[in-house]
């Protein structure tokens, strides 16, 4: 275990991890501007894009490219400069570095080289999106970009089937409808979700609904720009408002038993319970079969 005091000591280099606007240029902090002005060098994902931000704020600090395909070569160069006492700011095209963007390798290498690393916090699309999604925020997991290929995407989502925390994803607009269809198949069509498009930009919009409703919407009205998907976690039970002041808690096993007694087949009963609870129909049916087999063994 290692620790580093959050206090500058004589002459050592510092790596500043600086968050920049994700859309609205006015979202940059005063501290970020001061840091970008004061450092010796700015390592950025795209020198042209960062150059526009620097020009807007009349910052003339030199820049150097640092992106996914040159990280292996660039990181040692930057570490040597930091060890020599330089101050370097790390930025990405938008948002917080290392959050589904380049930066982790440089941060890790700096820490291993005993270089001080400091955060200059600010915008993050994931945090901004979850704050306005209207889906529980007490516990959540950030999953980044969903794999593009069908098989890999299915496998990735399947691993999250039992995730009870709210899930946050990034996605390209051209793949949004297909991803929502895959999520509906895995998590259940009635699972609550929100799509936040172009967050902080002029045409920002948030669309809420079930996964099935959202897929249907984006099949007919393709999304544009950058997308954040917020999906509710798997509920163990679903509370349903009754026609009186109070709540009814639906237990899956009990609900299946009542529906079977009413004459529904196991598949039909599983479908009804899935719609009431937001669970995946196939998962409810599979668990019901397993429960029936277990009961037979116990008998």
**Range of weakest confidence among 68-77, 174-183, 243-252, 264-273:** 243-252
* CATH code, domain carrying 93: 3.40.1010.10
- 63-92 average pLDDT score: 94
170 and 156 Cβ atoms separated by less than 8 Å: no
Domain assignment present for 42: yes
Domain assignment present for 225: yes
**221 shares its domain with 257:** no
Given 102, 123, 144, which residue is the final one in a domain?
A: 123
Q: Is the pLDDT of residue 80 over 80?
A: yes
Residue ranges making up the domain that contains 186: 126-231
Given 205, 231, 257, which residue is the final one in a domain?
A: 231
**293 shares its domain with 262:** yes
**271 shares its domain with 247:** yes
**130 shares its domain with 115:** no
Model pLDDT for residues 157-195, shown as the tens digit of each residue: 999 999 999 999 999 999 999 999 999 999 999 999 999
């Amino acid at each position: 275990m290692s620790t580093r005091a959050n206090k500058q000591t004589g002459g050592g280099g510092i790596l500043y991890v600086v968050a920049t606007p994700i859309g609205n240029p006015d979202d940059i902090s005063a501290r970020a501007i001061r840091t970008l002005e004061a450092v010796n060098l700015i390592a950025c994902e795209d020198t042209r894009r960062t150059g526009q931000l620097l020009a807007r704020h009349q910052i003339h600090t030199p820049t150097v490219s640092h992106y996914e395909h040159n990280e292996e070569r660039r990181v040692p160069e930057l570490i040597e400069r930091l060890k020599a006492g330089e101050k370097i700011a790390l930025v990405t095209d938008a948002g917080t570095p290392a959050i589904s963007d380049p930066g982790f390798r440089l941060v890790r290498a700096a820490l291993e080289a005993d270089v001080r690393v400091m955060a200059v916090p600010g915008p993050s699309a994931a945090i901004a999106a979850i704050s306005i999604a209207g889906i529980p925020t007490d516990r959540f997991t950030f999953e980044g970009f969903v794999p593009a290929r069908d098989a890999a995407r299915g496998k990735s989502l399947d691993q999250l089937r039992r995730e009870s925390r709210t899930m946050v994803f990034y996605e390209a607009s051209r793949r949004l409808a297909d991803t929502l269809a895959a999520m509906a198949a895995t998590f259940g069509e009635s699972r609550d979700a929100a799509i936040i498009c172009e967050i902080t930009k002029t045409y920002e919009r948030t669309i809420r609904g079930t996964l099935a409703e959202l897929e249907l919407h984006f099949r007919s009205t393709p999304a544009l720009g950058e997308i954040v998907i917020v999906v509710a976690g798997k509920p163990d039970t679903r509370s349903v408002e009754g026609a009186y002041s109070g709540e009814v808690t639906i237990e899956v096993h009990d609900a299946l038993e009542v529906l079977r007694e009413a004459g529904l087949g196991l598949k039909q009963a599983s479908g009804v319970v899935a719609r009431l609870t937001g669970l995946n129909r196939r998962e409810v049916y599979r668990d019901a079969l397993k429960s029936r087999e277990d009961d037979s063994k116990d008998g």
